[in-house]
Structure 1
Amino acid sequence: MHGPASPGWLLVALCAATGAYCLLRMRSSVEEQRRAAGGEALMGFGMAAMAVPAAVLAPPGWVWAAYAVVFGAAGLRALWAARSGRHHLHHVVGAAAMVYMAVVMAASPAHGHVHGASGTPVLTGALLLYFTGYVLLTGVRLIPVVAVAVAVAGGGPGAPPVPGGGAGAAGRAAAGWGDRPELARACRLSMAIAMLAMLLPL
């Protein structure tokens, strides 16, 4: 985060696009989907702001304290929601990683310059290990979901029936594009990759 300009802007674009898509997912008719999408939108835009190159914007120290408070509250909310679903635990880890990075940046003499930031090696390593595993596992899980979606869209032989609707397009329309699991997983996968890129310099 706040490293060289080109990789920094790529991270900003990736995280902002993911956050914008999560905002669109909040239009889902499923309440659980809306709640998850709202937390992921906050994470995406927060990561985008944190990744802005320091040459463009070097935030004052109080900004990092604000980050810690906002994402600390988001982590507590996700922890409370985890009572009804273990998938919320990933949001807890993501919020904790944001709080950790904010604390590290606030404590660094450069206040946002990556070369002046130094985190705790054990915590950084644990977070890197977690997000690396998450990226690999989510990528593997995403492959069969995408394959099924393509088969349904093509309506070819062996295409599974779509509950509540006829063939292909009608079934997807009934399910709602914001509720499609492969899109939600791809969204989380892109943010996990961005998180890895932001944690590595620490």
Structure 2
Amino acid sequence: MHGPVQPGWLLVALCAATGAYCLLRMRSTVEEQRRAAGGEALMGFGMALMAVPAAALAPPRWAWTGYAAVFGAAALRALWEARTRPHHLHHLVGAAAMVYMAATMAASPGPHGHGAHEGHGGSGTPLVTGVLLLYFTGYVLWAGARLLPVPALAGAGAPARAGGAGWGDRPEVARACRLSMGIAMVAMLLTL
């Protein structure tokens, strides 16, 4: 993506750490969590690769086509899963956003898809980028609000974890990972 080098490396670290945690979540005993964690790991590592600053690594144009193909397949899988599990629609939007960014970078003038974006004609943000920015900004605000602590009801104690669920099965950490990927997506779309 286009942008300063230091924030780019921070974005790479954030996305890679999120992808690594999602890989750990794939060991969960809950099948739905394992299934979601696999897609989120792919998204985290894919975002980390796409966020590598152009000054450090300028992938060849065919690499962007490869990204588009991988995330196109992920979008089809998310579409299939969304038939019975509507919460997979967010995965569909995320994968479609990755396809869009990869296709934009492949079509971008300049060396290896990392040149300045001149295809917009100076008219501002393209419609698709704007819609994706609105969606992911809304998602970040919504996901962040879900992480806020909820006051305990009078007389109600903290829910006991049966058998002491492992740290990989903690839903609040999974939500924090989704929030960090949403923030990273906003950052990547802003630099597109």
Q: Please report the TM-score for the alignment, with normalisation by the length of structure 2.
A: 0.89
Match of 2:24 in 1: 24
Q: 1:194 aligns with which of 181, 184, 187?
A: 184
- Structure 1's unaligned 5+ residue stretches are 149-156, 166-170
Match of 1:64 in 2: 64
Match of 2:38 in 1: 38
Q: State whether residues 131 and 195 of structure 1, in contact with CA within 8 Å, keep that contact through their aligned partners in structure 2.
A: yes
1:112 paired to 2:117: no
Flag the 1:192–1:94 CA change in 2: closer, same or farther, 3 A: same
Structure 1 runs of 4+ with >6 Å offset = none
Matches of 1:118 and 1:28 in 2, distance apart? 45
Flag the 1:114–1:43 CA change in 2: closer, same or farther, 3 A: farther
Q: State whether residues 109 and 116 of structure 2, in contact with CA within 8 Å, keep that contact through their aligned partners in structure 1.
A: no
Matches of 2:99 and 2:32 in 1, distance apart? 24
Kindly report the root-mean-square deviation, in angstroms, between the aligned alpha carbons of the 2 structures.
Answer: 2.0
Matches of 1:117 and 1:24 in 2, distance apart? 41
- The number of equivalent residue pairs is 186
Matches of 1:99 and 1:34 in 2, distance apart? 23
Give, in angstroms, the shift of residue 158 of structure 1. 4.3
Query: What's the % identity of the aligned pairs?
Result: 75
Q: 1:130 corresponds to which letter in structure 2?
A: Y
1:1-202 superposed matches below 5 A: 1-110=1-110, 111-113=112-114, 115-116=116-117, 121-144=126-149, 158-162=156-160, 165=162, 171=163, 173=164, 175-202=165-192
Matches of 1:180 and 1:84 in 2, distance apart? 24
- Cα deviation, 1:140-163, whole Å, max 9, x if unaligned, reads 111136x77xxxxxxxx7423326
Give, in angstroms, the shift of residue 55 of structure 1. 1.1
Q: Please report the TM-score for the alignment, with normalisation by the length of structure 1.
A: 0.85
Q: 2:65 corresponds to which letter in structure 1?
A: A
- Cα deviation, 1:90-117, whole Å, max 9, x if unaligned, reads 0000000000000000001123326236
Flag the 1:118–1:144 CA change in 2: closer, same or farther, 3 A: farther
Matches of 2:145 and 2:109 in 1, distance apart? 40
Matches of 1:113 and 1:129 in 2, distance apart? 24
